[in-house]
Structure 1
Amino acid sequence: MTPARMAMLLALLLSEAQGGQTVISIRGEDFLINGKPTLEGRTWRGHEVEGLLPNSRMVQGIFDDLNPETAKRWASADTGKWDAERNTREFVAAMKDWRDHGLLAFTLNLQGGSPMGYSKDQPWNNSAFDERGDLREAYVARLKTILDEADRLGMAVILGYFYFGQDERLKDEAAVIHATDATTDWIIKQGYRHVLVEINNECDVRYDHAILKPERVHELIDRVKRRSADAGVPLLTSTSYGGGHLPGPEVMKAADFLLLHGNGVKEPEAIRSMVERTREVKGYHGQPIVFNEDDHFDFGRPENHFTAATAAGASWGYFDFRMKDEGFAEGYQSVPVDWSISSERKRGFFRLVAEMSGK
């Protein structure tokens, strides 16, 4: 029996043993769900798409603001207040529609992302960790609700641990390490097999703690991989870089998959070039390449960032925020969030995903 066949059978056995649980794995450059390549046998616009992981940045699914001075910013129009539990309920209610359109994965982050889309300062306090690195129970409860539904729907979740602008909520490096271990142990304890770990969003952008910066973040990648493997539940782990930047050699060697961002990359051809140059970085050993953040759209044009990444054999991820003077229906990162497929921009993305997947 070939190693690939053995891996497939193991994944299927795990799935059956856990009551139909979703298992994400990697074989070469391909992602597999429950032992079968994603988008198996499919071509799209003349390109083979088997093994790709179309995804969307939905990082605010467990968002809250523990700073009473800023929490009022996120009040919903109908109640005049912010409600973290409602936000998660509405997220979960929208997930089946995303999946029915062919979405296979989304990024969620324990410290969210900028609820303004982009922001230099972040006075809000949105962190699933306290200053010591202990997990906050309310955040964990919301996280479990989302991960359970993703598991049921057969979706993978790229789970980010840390976000710049919020990492300073942890008092020191020991707290960062403790938070990493606590989250990893919690995932293992839950028995999840559909989680891909992203140590931090854009490791080369404004982090306070040295271990979260490009020179050392591979230490945390290795730590999660070693700790989860020792527990018998190896977690596929990586980190991401800022728009247009390529992984460094140490991350390249350590990461199970490679996360790129297309923000600031102006032309589709430059997206293709990013993928090609990534494969040339020292330490690359054939991992799948995934864009899990890109704020370029043009979905109605034959050539856009989505199609360019796909043509280069990389997965592409949608990042949408509410721009100036836009209404509530726009954006998946701006809080409060309309999690439905509610705007023309969202519909444009999901039309391409549905076309790619044959939905």
Structure 2
Amino acid sequence: MTSIEIRGTDFVVDGRIVNQGRTLDGIPLDGLLLNSRMINGAFDDANPETVHRWAYPDTGVWDADRNTREFLAAMPQWKADGLDAFTIGVQGGSPQGYSTEQPWNNAGFTAEGALQEGYRERLGRILEEADRLGLVVILDIFYHGQDHRLRDEPAIHRAVTEVCTWVLRSGWRHVLLEIANEVNWHNHYTHSLIKAERVHELIALAKSVTYEGRRLLVSTSFLAHPPIITERVVTEADFVLIHGNGTPAPDRLREMVEEIKATPGYTPKPIMFNEDDHFDFDKPDNHMKAALAAGASWGYFDPGSVTTDPPQPTLGDYENGYQAVPVNWGVSTETKRAFFATLRSVR
């Protein structure tokens, strides 16, 4: 059984500081999780008007179970190449990589906040395999453009409580909880409870859910737009989650880490980038190395298209990226190969 704990600013896996004594190009990795956003491993679309968009090129139809089977088949190689953790979501992420509108229905929850059985089953298979392989899972609950499908705040409370209870009662100890993705982009979320000003209430709720004296470690992620953290979240969260998308240069990641540490209420705890769409793995200075050198974990986000400003949506071609559906979960492109080669270069 795989377990995740926190000691000060370090992540601890199976009782040992993760990556202790290891380096990437001379950068110490002690306590840092090398991670990747694999958010749509349990994705499905309950909207008959949009589900055709995700059809596999070889069959002409979308198949949620195939998506999860192929995710499971790819996981051992991710681990062998050096991946420590991945982010996956109950409401997934945009199946177009980036989106301004989201008419599809990634129905992880009922309107009342109950976890849908199909999602529970697919996520459960992924969590079991991650546990077996020794991979940490960052489990995201809510995604913008989909949260409106929950009816009201009681439904949101139920969703958080039900996910926490399910994970704890299943005996999994390798799961970190992310309440919601990018809570500080104000037009993202319908419910005020999931926005930056109030999301600390849900962090506290998740922390209050216990089973046999144990609870989950909880946070929520912020986009790199101000505010990159709030005092209430930095105080309440067990660790800090931040994204590197939209940052102009590696130096900005270093600055963000220092800004977080200077936020009133911050006490020593891990800081993690679990989404960043900047690569340049062959360069001596890049976003990954900047974050790690600043003492923050770093996460690869490959949306499936060339990053543009502003980002543009893309349809999945079953080759590029790890978000645009249908996803090829293998190491199928030069960008993916460059990331995993970087992981293999850790010594």
Tell me the TM-score normalized by structure 2: 0.95
Query: Following TM superposition, by how much is the alpha carbon of 1:156 offset from its aligned partner in structure 2, in angstroms?
Result: 0.5
> Does the 8 Å contact 2:316/2:324 carry over to 1?
no
Given the alignment, which residue of 332, 339, 343 partners 1:349? 339
Asked whether 1:294 is paired with 2:282, we answer no
1:330 Cα deviation (Å)?
A: 0.9
Tell me the residue number matched to 2:262: 280
The question of whether the paired residues in 1 share the 8 Å contact of 2:247 and 2:253 is answered with yes
Partner SS for 2:12: strand
Residue 304 in 1 paired to residue 286 in 2?
yes
1:269 paired to 2:251? yes
The 1:238–1:326 alpha-carbon spacing in structure 2 relative to 1, beyond 3 Å, is closer
CA deviation digits over 1:18-52, x for unaligned, max 9?
xxx10000101111111001112112322211110
Q: What is aligned with 1:106? A: 86
> In structure 1, what is the Cα distance between the partners aligned to 2:342 and 2:271?
19
User: Is contact 2:56–2:318 with CA below 8 Å preserved after alignment?
Assistant: no
Hey, what does 1:236 align to over in structure 2?
217
- State the alpha-carbon separation in 1 of the partners of residues 316 and 173 from structure 2: 38
CA distance in 2, matches of 1:231, 1:237: 18
Q: What's the counterpart of residue 308 of structure 2? A: none
Q: 1:159 aligns with which of 139, 143, 155?
A: 139
1:20-59 to 2 correspondences below 5 Å? 21-59=1-39
1:314 pairs with 2:296:
yes
Query: Conserved in 2, the CA contact under 8 Å of 1:322 and 1:328?
Result: no
Residue 123 of structure 1 aligns with an amino acid whose one-letter code is P
Residue 96 in 1 paired to residue 76 in 2? yes
RMSD over aligned CA atoms reads 1.2
Q: Are 2:224 and 1:224 aligned?
A: no
Structure 1: gaps (5+ residues): 1-20
CA distance 1:325–1:299, shift in 2 (3 Å) = farther
Matches within 5 A, 1:190-229: 190-205=170-185, 206-228=188-210
Q: Secondary structure at the match of 1:310?
A: helix
Q: 1:184 aligns with which of 151, 159, 164?
A: 164
Alignment partner of 2:141: what SS? strand
Q: Which runs of 4+ in 1 moved over 3 A?
A: 324-327
Structure 2, unaligned stretches of length 5 or more? 306-313
Query: Larger deviation: 139-148 or 199-208?
Result: 199-208
For residues 78-126 of structure 1, the C-alpha deviation after alignment (integer angstroms, 9 at most, x for no partner) is 1100000000000000000000011000000100111111111100000
Looking at structure 2, the residues matched to 318 and 42 of structure 1 have their Cα atoms a distance apart, in angstroms, of: 19
Q: For this pair of structures, how many residues does the alignment match?
A: 336
Distance 1:84 1:326 in 2: 14
- Aligned counterpart for 2:117 among listed residues 137, 161, 165: 137
- CA offsets 1:125-144 (integer angstroms, 9 cap, x no match): 00210100011101100000
Give the structure 1 partner of residue 327 of structure 2: 337
Q: Conserved in 2, the CA contact under 8 Å of 1:56 and 1:318?
A: yes
Is the Cα–Cα contact under 8 Å of residues 55 and 317 in structure 1 kept in the other structure?
yes
Residue 97 of structure 1 aligns to a residue whose secondary structure is helix
Matched with 2:311 is none
- Higher RCO by CA contacts (8 Å cutoff, separation 6 or greater): 2
Which has the larger displacement, 75-84 or 43-52?
Answer: 43-52
CA contact (8 A) 2:88 2:137 kept: yes
Contact conserved, 2:316 with 2:326, CA < 8 A, in 1?
Answer: no
Report what 1:15 is aligned to.
none
Partner Cα separation in structure 2 for residue 354 and residue 159 of structure 1: 25
Residue of structure 2 equivalent to 1:173: 153
Give the Cα separation in 2 of the matches to 1:215 and 1:25. 27
Structure 1 stretch 284-293 or stretch 203-212: which is displaced more? 203-212
**TM-score, normalised on structure 1?**
0.91
**Partner of 1:17 in structure 2?**
none
Does the 8 Å CA contact 1:135/1:179 hold for their aligned counterparts? yes
Give 1:326 deviation, angstroms.
8.4
Cα separation, 2, equivalents of 1:339 and 1:233: 33
Do the aligned partners of 2:315 and 2:324 also contact (CA within 8 Å) in 1? no
Match of 1:69 among 49, 52, 58: 49
Q: Deviations over 1:280-307 (max 9, x none)?
A: 1111101110000111111111111001
Q: What code does the residue aligned with 1:135 have?
A: L
Shift of 1:328: 2.9
Distance, in Å, in 2 between the alignment partners of 1:119 and 1:39 is 35
Alpha-carbon deviation of 1:243? 2.8
User: Once the 2 structures are TM-superposed, how far is the Cα of residue 321 of structure 1 from its aligned partner?
Assistant: 1.5
